[in-house]
């Protein structure tokens, strides 16, 4: 997919609670409305990231056409 993104770090426990981060690594996929689309704890391979991204794009497209 050739996607790059930054890794974050915080000592603010509220952020970790709000996004249900239990440890590294955690991936939180946020949609165009700023809402959490998917939460993934642990390693995330390219195949899974591609599937999640395509699911989100499909859902967003369906919402636009509704």
pLDDT in tens, 11-20: 888 988 888 8
Instruction: Look up the pTM and report it.
Output: 0.69
Query: First and final CA of the chain: distance in angstroms?
Result: 28
> Strands, DSSP E only, in 9-62?
26-30, 36-41
Q: Is 9 helix (H, G, I), strand (E, B) or coil?
A: coil
Tell me the pLDDT tens digit for each residue of 18-55.
Answer: 888 877 788 889 898 989 999 888 888 889 999 999 99
Domain ranges of the chain: 13-65
């Amino acid at each position: 997919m050739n996607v790059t993104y930054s890794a974050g770090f915080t000592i603010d426990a509220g952020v970790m609670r709000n996004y249900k981060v239990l440890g590294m690594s955690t991936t939180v996929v946020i949609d165009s409305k700023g809402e959490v689309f998917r939460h993934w704890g642990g390693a995330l391979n390219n195949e899974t990231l591609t599937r999640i991204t395509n699911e989100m794009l499909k859902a967003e497209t369906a919402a636009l056409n509704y």
